[in-house]
């Protein structure tokens, strides 16, 4: 009798365990299906300079494609988005533009740039229609996501059919490169430009736009094992002279025979600096009289200091300026910005511009944990700024 009761109790426990396993499996399956059906986003709830430690993938809104739209909004699905330095600064709380959108649990949706396709439009939207390819007009919209709903007036249309990787670089890669040459100094065919961090997306594009203008480029990079490959990439983009920071520090303009001649003849009229600090001083010293030094980034750290000499200020009368993309774009109408992006696309189609070399990460909804691991790896590499690290574009 006692043995029967024990057997019955064991059988009951076993049945309960089987039931719990079924429930657990069903919950896991439902959560996975919900994640795959929902819009996913890269989010953060804590500010940190170590983005990889705080970024997580979370569902945003379930079945957004079937929910009613505000009359002035559009529903879009993202095709690609890049990982930019400004994104990391925003996650660290060191960028002036804060994320606008949050997930249901209050986490902020990261990302300032990306390319998307319009799937539905609100009844009062006249500027966009289904099938249009769009970019964000301003920062803070939370573009690191698979889909979302945005006000129509927060997006700008570009020609459809553009490669997603190229399209994802138009606003914060192509545009700043072009405007750095267009807005801040009057360049003429034959003018010389010096630019550091030259394997970055903006410098690669600046080399190409300079070539289209008939200008010449001195490209400065950090010393590396694959130096010849780096030189080949930059020369293919239009650079005439490629030197390392270490060579400039040790030899100045004598780092390259052709550079020595150009500098002696005071022909370098524009320096484009993405690093700041002591390394930027090497660029300033190459400028000829009346030249212009423009800083547009702080890869060397936000606390960098650039020392000015009497030669630069008094004898050469170098002009020092900063560049902000949002400021330059805001001086143009929406129509002008749209036409500018369309021109970039046309130049790509003609083969006069080419997409700079980047790393591509394919997005997968099937395994959130694995995708999170890959994203963390990308963010960790971007934060370390190791030699040879390329910008990553996530393609959906």
- pTM, rounded to two decimals: 0.87
Is 345 among the domain residues? no
CA distance 280 to 197: 10
Structure confidence at residue 343 as a pLDDT band (50, 70, 90): very high
Q: List the helix and strand counts (H, then E) for the chain.
A: 13, 16
**Is 80's pLDDT higher than 70?**
yes
219 and 290 part of one domain: yes
Torsions phi, psi of 121, nearest 5? Answer: -130, 150
Return the pLDDT at 34.
Answer: 40
| Alpha carbon 263 to its chain's center | 33
92 and 211 part of one domain: no
Q: Give the pLDDT confidence of 90-131 residue by residue, as tens digits.
A: 999 999 899 999 988 899 999 999 999 999 999 999 999 999
Domain carrying residue 198: 185-322
Domain end among 296, 322, 348 = 322
56 and 156 part of one domain: yes
198 and 255 part of one domain: yes
Token pair of 283 as six digits: 């660029």
In terms of Cβ atoms closer than 10 Å to its own Cβ (0-12, 13-18, 19+), residue 382 is buried
Q: How many domains does the chain have?
A: 2
Residues 328, 183 contacting (CB under 8 angstroms): yes
155 and 229 part of one domain: no
**Residues labelled catalytic:** 95
Structure confidence at residue 386 as a pLDDT band (50, 70, 90): confident
Return the pLDDT at 384.
Answer: 87
Residues 43, 108 contacting (CB under 8 angstroms): yes
Rg (Cα) of the chain, in Å, rounded? 26
132 and 233 part of one domain: no
DSSP state of 289: T
């Amino acid at each position: 009798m006692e043995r029967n009761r024990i057997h019955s109790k064991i059988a009951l426990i076993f049945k309960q365990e089987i039931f719990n396993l079924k429930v657990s499996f069903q919950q896991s399956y439902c959560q996975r299906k919900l994640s795959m059906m929902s819009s996913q986003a890269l989010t953060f709830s804590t500010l940190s300079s170590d983005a990889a430690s705080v970024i997580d993938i979370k569902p945003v809104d379930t079945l957004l494609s079937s929910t009613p739209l505000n009359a002035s909004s559009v529903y879009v699905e993202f095709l690609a988005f890049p990982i930019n330095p400004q994104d990391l600064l925003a996650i660290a709380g060191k960028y002036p533009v804060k994320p606008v959108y949050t997930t249901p649990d209050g986490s902020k949706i990261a990302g300032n740039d990306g390319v998307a396709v319009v799937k539905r439009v609100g009844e009062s939207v006249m500027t966009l229609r289904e099938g249009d390819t769009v970019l964000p007009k301003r920062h803070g919209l939370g573009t690191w996501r698979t889909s979302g709903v945005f006000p129509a007036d927060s997006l700008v249309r570009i020609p459809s059919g553009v490669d997603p990787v190229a399209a994802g670089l138009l606003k914060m890669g192509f545009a700043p490169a072009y405007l750095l040459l267009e807005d801040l100094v009057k360049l003429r065919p034959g003018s010389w430009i010096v630019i550091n961090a030259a394997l970055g997306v903006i410098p690669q594009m600046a080399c190409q736009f300079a070539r289209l203008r008939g200008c010449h480029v001195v490209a400065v990079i950090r010393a590396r094992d694959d130096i010849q490959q780096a030189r080949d990439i930059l020369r293919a983009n239009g650079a005439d002279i490629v030197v390392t920071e270490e060579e400039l520090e040790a030899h100045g303009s004598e780092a390259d025979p052709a550079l020595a001649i150009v500098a002696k003849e005071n022909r370098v009229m524009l320096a484009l600096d993405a690093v700041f600090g002591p390394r930027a001083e090497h660029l300033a010293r190459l400028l000829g009289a009346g030249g212009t030094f423009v800083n547009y980034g702080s890869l060397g750290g936000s606390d960098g200091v650039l020392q000015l000499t009497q030669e630069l200020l008094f004898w050469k009368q170098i002009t020092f300026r900063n560049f902000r993309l949002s400021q330059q774009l805001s001086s143009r109408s929406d129509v002008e910005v749209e036409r500018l992006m369309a021109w970039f696309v046309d130049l790509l189609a003609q083969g006069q511009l080419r997409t700079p070399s980047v790393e591509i990460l394919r997005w997968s909804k099937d395994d959130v944990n694995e995708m999170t691991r890959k994203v963390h790896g990308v963010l960790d590499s971007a934060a370390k700024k190791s030699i040879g690290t390329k910008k990553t574009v996530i393609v959906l």
